[in-house]
Amino acid sequence: MAIHRRVLIRAGTAGLVAPRIAFAQEEWPQRPIRIIVPYSPGGGTDLITRVLAEAMRPSLGQPIVVENRAGANGVIGSDQVARAPADGYLYVSVTSGHLTNRYVMPNMPFHPVDDFTPVALLAAYPMVLVASSAAPFTDLRGLIAYARANPGRVSFGTSTALNSYVGHLFARQTRTEMTEVPYRGGGPMMADLIAGHLNVGWGSPESALSQMNSGRIRIIGVSTRERLPLLRDVPSISEAGVPDFDFMGWVGLYGPANLPEQILVRMNAALDVAIAQPAIHQRIITMGNYGNVEGAVAFAARTRADDARWSRAAQEGLLQRAG
């Protein structure tokens, strides 16, 4: 899955959404727009959404209010949007975990594809492989060699279904036997890495960057084929001899199902203006992301492709079901 940095692609949305509906003789938007971030305040999704929401305001002529409604790995906040009218005033900003939830959580109240309209991909990022300074290897090739020589001795930490998947995929593609240690959050996992209780851990760049300069951990690889702009010295896993390894996480914006085409066009245009501003683009990169953003058509295609990927992963036992 190659990554191409570019500003928003405002491709036509014909066939993507329901036909235009007649608004009550008014132009959209006539009041503030709301975006729900279904995670805790201060995380990567929250910060990215707030930066872009503020930058979109001049183009839309209305404030965009970002609200946090955390719970059930994003399900609670997303459900509110799935049930909302498709009038363009309520959206949800989620990670790619939005699509994995139905494969790992029982009794989902909505379908993450059918009950939403993809609006845009806001940011993309790799998973990073972080090693403890106490680990008996210092780089990716050393990790692979050590794991092959010592089956089951390497422990890898995970804190989400996404990085659990990446960890198992890495073990499969490197033909190694590693032991997963699941955590309830990235903080406890990072603490065990720093303390030397864990060999390696998988997480987002945001979770590792704050500890990178401590000297007690090192980022030894990124999951995408292309190096991360903020970590130019860190190789991709494919560079270390795993040529087919490629995984990208993302933050995406969705509205309720059947969002009118003219609203999608306006939202995409506002995002285009926002991400084209050098200061905004750089802020997204300094948070540990790539600078690429996708419009409605490309993001809808990515949504369908990623959902199919997670379906296959679940069938192959690479996603662990909760509950």
What confidence score (pLDDT) does residue 292 get?
81
Instruction: Give the integer Cα–Cα distance in Å for 223 and 58.
Output: 36
Q: Where are the alpha helices (DSSP H) in the chain?
A: 44-60, 75-82, 97-104, 140-149, 161-173, 186-195, 205-209, 261-275, 278-286, 296-315
What confidence score (pLDDT) does residue 207 get?
78
Three-class DSSP category at 33: strand
> Domain 128-240 maps to which CATH number in 3.40.1160.10, 3.40.50.150, 3.40.190.10, 3.30.420.40?
3.40.190.10
- Going by CATH, does the domain composed of 33-124+249-315 fall within 3.40.190.150? yes
> For residues 182 and 199, is the Cβ–Cβ distance under 8 A?
no
Amino acid code (one letter) for 235: P
> For residues 161 and 167, is the Cβ–Cβ distance under 8 A?
no
> For residues 307 and 113, is the Cβ–Cβ distance under 8 A?
yes
Closest CA to 171 of 316, 73, 307, 321: 316
What confidence score (pLDDT) does residue 13 get?
45
Q: Is the peptide bond before 29 cis (omega within 30 degrees of 0)?
A: yes
Per-domain boundaries in the chain: 33-124+249-315, 128-240
pLDDT, tens digit, 9 for 90 and up, residues 197-234: 999 999 988 878 877 777 789 999 999 999 999 999 99
Task: Tell me the mean pLDDT in the region 318-323.
Answer: 67
What confidence score (pLDDT) does residue 19 get?
43
pLDDT, tens digit, 9 for 90 and up, residues 12-66: 444 444 444 444 446 999 999 999 999 999 989 999 999 999 999 999 999 999 9
Instruction: Give the integer Cα–Cα distance in Å for 92 and 94.
Output: 6
Instruction: Give the integer Cα–Cα distance in Å for 40 and 49.
Output: 13
How far CA 211 is from CA of 207, 217, 228, in Å, comes to 8, 7, 17
pLDDT, tens digit, 9 for 90 and up, residues 142-192: 999 999 999 999 999 999 889 999 999 999 999 999 999 999 888 899 999
Strands 33-37 and 200-203: unpaired
* Contacting residues for 316 by C-beta, under 8 A, at least 6 apart: none
The yes-or-no answer to whether 33-124+249-315 and 128-240 have a common fold is yes
> Is the pLDDT confidence value at 75 over 90?
yes
pLDDT, tens digit, 9 for 90 and up, residues 107-136: 999 999 999 999 999 999 999 999 999 999
Instruction: Give the integer Cα–Cα distance in Å for 189 and 182.
Output: 8
- In this prediction the pTM is 0.88
How far CA 112 is from CA of 107, 122, 214, 255, in Å, comes to 13, 17, 39, 11
What confidence score (pLDDT) does residue 322 get?
54
